[in-house]
Amino acid sequence: MSAEPLTLESVPGPNPGSRILRLTGPLVLNHLFDFQAAIRSDPPPTLILDLTAVPYMDSAGMGAIINYFVSCQRNGRRLIVAGVNGRVLELFKMTKVDGLLTMVPGIAEAEQAVN
């Protein structure tokens, strides 16, 4: 388990009804409950998940993202994942999650995708 902390910052998105959730640190099992609480509390119509400062994640972190994606699909909401680094992208590719999620290089592109 990672001893590195995970910080979560929720800020308003570019459009009404959108929110940006910025993660800083690894998204791993011991941070899972905080992450799940952040994405489940008052889910917006569009969530931009900013992973720019996430150096790595484990299967629990990936599972939480997939579960949220499925919830979005069922409830007419949208998830945009921004700033995925090479290491996390390889995990997404290896598990074929990259074909499911809307992924963009950074926040600027995510903000454009919201429009």
Residue 1 has pLDDT above 70, yes or no: no
Among residues 40, 50, 38, 41, which one has the least CA distance to residue 13? Answer: 50
- Domain assignment present for residue 2? The answer is no
pLDDT one-digit tens code per residue, 25-45: 999 999 999 999 999 888 999
Is 30 within a domain?
yes
Checking if the pLDDT of 113 tops 60, the result is yes
Q: Is residue 1 part of a domain?
A: no
Q: What is the tens place of the pLDDT at every residue in 62-107?
A: 999 999 999 999 999 999 999 999 999 999 999 999 999 999 999 8
Res. 2 pLDDT band, cuts 50 70 90: low
Q: Is the pLDDT of residue 52 over 70?
A: yes
Residue 86's pLDDT is what? 93
User: How many domains, in total, are found in the chain?
Assistant: 1
* SS3 letters across 46-102: EEEEEEEECCCECHHHHHHHHHHHHHHHHHCCEEEEECCCHHHHHHHHHCCHHHCCE
As a whole number of angstroms, the distance between CA 7 and CA 22 comes to 8
Q: Count CA atoms within 13 Å of residue 33 on its CB side.
A: 1
**Domain range enclosing 26:** 7-114
Read off the CATH number of the domain in which 99 is found: 3.30.750.24
